[in-house]
Homo-oligomer: A and B are copies of this chain.
Amino acid sequence: MNAEIIAVGTELLLGQIANTNGQYLSKQLTHHGVNIYRHTVVGDNLQRIRQAIRTAAKHNDIVILTGGLGPTEDDVTRNALAEEYDLKLVHEARALEHVEAFFQARGQTASDANRRQALHVEGSEVLQNHVGLACGMVYKHENTWFILLPGPPRELEGMFEKEVRPLLSAANQSHEFLLSRTLKFYGIGESALEARLHDLIVHQGNPTIAPLAGQDEVSLRLTVKDTDRAHAESKLDTLEEAINERCGEFLYGYDEDTLVSKALDRLRGRGWRVASAESVTGGWLSASLTDVAGASDVFAGGVIAYRDETKQKQLNVKPATLQTDGAVSEACAREMAAGVRRTYHSEVGISLTGVAGPDDQEGHPPGTLFIGISSPDVTQVYARHLQGDRATIRRRAAKEACACLLEVGGER
């Protein structure tokens, strides 16, 4: 089953908002096994909407139009559908009641403009709006189902959930469903990963393999279509094994896992707490570790040691170290990690010192990074060189620190 999503709204073409309705509907329809053929965005223009409807009807079983159902003159989506197929617009009794009750409850009277929101094309089935006033509708022309939904995301999502989803479930008679599993990798780039998996990607069928490049990470989404859940799971398992053979050393988790959540889980598993001492990242690592609710059982606390003075006073870094090795050094990272571990009486101390740029510091170029880890098992400093501008280096440094924490907590 193919579907096209047509979003109507000049504000989209002006770039005032992104087409998040298109994203939401794509996710939902994909989940129901519907193949999304295309997204189209057109302005509040009757002829353009009609043209989009005409083109979409040629290729699709379902055409969803979003937006243009409001009360104003330039809300013309329903008119476009009506004119295209020579239909009348009529008031729907229940929707009209809904509009009139809304204004009555506020001691007002619905205007003609407001009452337009209860218009639907004759022969269509009305979709109730549980959040706002504009009614939606489903209309079948030849072999194509047209679904008209309101533009405001809350109204659209509410109507989709309560009115459209049941229709889709009922229409899916093949009992085929899609099952997905996302594999998450860190420490390998998108093209290097794809090179290792080249044969699997080229010869993919069912399941499919979709590489997704995220920020500093790569994911692979495996998707299988089947009618039996156990069978589907086992197909995914087989494919995952083949992928693991080629690049399992970079796999750190699945689906909703993040480097942070995995690092915290590992530490929690060992009953360890961690304290952070940040120079170059200025709080990014601590902020990342505490993004996850319930981090307080693992995260002991932190020091932002942006200046040498702080490194000495709060973390007991030796003045001699700062003088001979400098603040951006392996020795300083080691002492910072040990220092913060003592300060917070935690099992693990982690430190970051380096250069975020744009300028060199102590003769080191931007991207220079030392991550110190002090734990009951080991005290170690990881030297890294990161690419990117200031913001990227800081973000990547915090991520790299999480990856180091993951190793400290145990084997990947």
Contacts and interface: CB of A to CB of B under 8 A. Distances in A.
Given A42-B38, A286-B283, A356-B293, A25 B15 contact: yes
Interface string A12-48: 1111111110111111111000001111111100001
A139 interface: no
Interface of A: 7, 10-20, 22-30, 36-43, 48, 55, 70-73, 111, 113-114, 152, 190-191, 194-195, 201-202, 210-213, 221, 276, 278, 281-291, 293, 295-296, 299-307, 310, 314, 343-344, 356-359, 390-391, 394
B72 A293 contact: no
Given A283-B286, A301-B310, 6 more contacts: A12-B23, A14-B27, A39-B39, A72-B201, A114-B191, A291-B391
Of A13, A72, A291, A296, chain B has the most CB atoms within 10 Å of the CB of: A13
A358 B284 contact: no
A358 B294 CA distance: 10
Contacts of A30: 13-15
A310 B72 contact: no
26 contacts: A10-B210, A13-B38, A14-B26, A14-B36, A15-B26, A15-B27, A15-B30, A16-B27, A16-B221, A18-B23, A19-B23, A39-B39, A70-B190, A70-B191, A282-B290, A283-B285, A283-B286, A283-B288, A293-B356, A293-B359, A296-B307, A299-B306, A301-B303, A301-B304, A301-B307, A314-B343
Contacts of A194: 71-72, 113
A31 to B, nearest CB: 9
A301 B305 contact: yes
A210 B284 contact: no
A302 B283 contact: yes
Nearest to A30: B14
A304 B302 contact: yes
B293 A283 contact: no
B282 A71 contact: no
